[in-house]
């Protein structure tokens, strides 16, 4: 049995609540987590791409994690993953170590994303330092493959080497390549040797058929009931065809409003009555006309 089997499931790449002056609203975090748990999420990734993770200082990230973990005691079985990457090796080590000390269930770590033309050897050395110095034995470290954002892909060879070198700490990766061939390849090469979480709702059913451990997606902020339907059906050897179709339609709409955080925060506010949380610069909130268009397009797609 995979050491990290208990982490399988549907995760939301959660937004980060902010006040009107762009400060972290830690008091709103429990409200968001309870909403996600009630709608079928098994856990949340905090401070990922949708959570604007790289926009926050280390002390802000730790305050966000502490607020979430304090409330997590009210949500039995709900898991918290943390984005802890920075371009700085030392700062990433410190953030990752402290996140585990606070009690997160795992970390999801981008490659260092300033120098883009680096070798697998350099990436292996960087990840190895983080894992050796910051990840306790038996705790879950996930790489984060999102080359359209970082410009730094995580190769099959690199993933295999990390798993071989750190079998009780390197758990797998979040695959946000949005590439169906990548989803198939990861499943073919690794089967269930490493855990692969799909980062694209349109590929969720496909990824599950190729040994995916679940999903971590931005759309889970809005459409987690359908993600849970797809996940639960697959566990029973069935297909949730209508739920998957709604996810694909909703994802196509969302992809017209990139980057995702402003769109997701607007939809949460107008459709689910959350405060209208801003995004931190350099991101900008959507114009009202775009919000109205998005609401019309998303209407009835994200069913409860």
16 tagged catalytic: no
Angle formed by the axes of helices 241-254 and 288-298, nearest 10°? 170
Contact between 104 and 81 (Cβ < 8 Å): yes
Which one of the listed residues 86, 92, 96, 144 is annotated catalytic? 144
115 among known catalytic residues:
no
Neighbours of 94 (CB within 10 A): 17
Task: Provide the greatest CA pair distance for the chain.
Answer: 51
**Contact yes or no for 28/275 (Cβ under 8 A):** yes
How many angstroms separate the CA atoms of 9 and 2, rounded? 14
C-alpha pair distances (Å), 54 with each of 1, 75, 85, 148, 254: 34, 27, 8, 16, 21
User: What 3-state DSSP class applies to 9?
Assistant: strand
Work out whether strand 170-175 and strand 140-145 pair parallel, antiparallel, or are unpaired. Answer: parallel
11, 84, 98, 174: the active-site residue = 174
156 vs 182: CA distance, rounded Å: 10
Determine if the peptide bond prior to 282 is cis (ω within 30°): yes
257 flagged as catalytic: no
Please say if 174 is a catalytic residue.
yes
Helices (H), the chain: 29-38, 58-72, 89-102, 120-134, 147-150, 156-165, 180-190, 204-208, 220-235, 241-254, 260-272, 288-298
Which one is catalytic: 49, 92, 98, 217? Answer: 49
Selection from 261, 187, 191, 200 nearest residue 227 by Cα: 200
Q: Which of 114, 115, 148, 188 is catalytic?
A: 114
Active centre residues (catalytic): 49, 114, 144, 174
């Amino acid at each position: 049995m995979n050491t990290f089997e208990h982490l399988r499931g549907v995760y939301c790449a959660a937004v980060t609540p902010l006040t009107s002056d762009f400060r972290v609203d830690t008091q709103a975090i429990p409200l968001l987590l309870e909403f996600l748990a009630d709608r079928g999420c098994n856990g949340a990734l905090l401070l990922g791409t949708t959570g604007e993770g790289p926009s926050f200082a280390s002390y802000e990230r730790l305050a966000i994690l502490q607020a979430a973990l304090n409330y997590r005691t009210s949500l039995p079985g709900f898991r918290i993953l943390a984005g802890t990457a920075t371009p700085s090796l030392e700062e990433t080590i410190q953030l990752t170590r402290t996140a585990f000390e606070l009690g997160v269930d795992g970390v999801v770590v981008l490659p260092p994303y300033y120098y883009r033309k680096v070798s697998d050897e350099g990436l292996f050395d960087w990840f190895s330092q983080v894992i050796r110095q910051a990840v306790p034995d038996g705790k879950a470290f996930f790489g984060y493959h999102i080359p359209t954002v970082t410009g730094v892909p995580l190769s099959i060879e690199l993933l295999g080497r990390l798993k071989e070198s750190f079998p009780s700490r390197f758990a797998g990766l979040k695959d946000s390549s949005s590439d169906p061939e990548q989803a198939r390849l990861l499943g073919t090469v690794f089967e269930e040797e490493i855990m692969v979480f799909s980062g694209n709702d349109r590929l969720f059913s496909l990824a599950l058929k190729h040994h995916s451990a679940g999903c971590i997606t931005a759309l889970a902020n809005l459409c987690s009931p359908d993600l849970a339907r797809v996940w639960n059906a697959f566990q029973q050897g069935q297909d949730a065809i209508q739920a998957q179709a709604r996810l694909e339609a909703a994802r196509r709409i969302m992809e017209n409003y990139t980057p995702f955080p402003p769109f997701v925060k607007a939809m949460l506010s107008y459709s689910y009555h959350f405060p209208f949380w801003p995004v931190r610069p350099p991101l900008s909130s959507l114009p009202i006309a775009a919000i109205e268009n998005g609401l019309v397009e998303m209407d009835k797609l994200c069913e409860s």
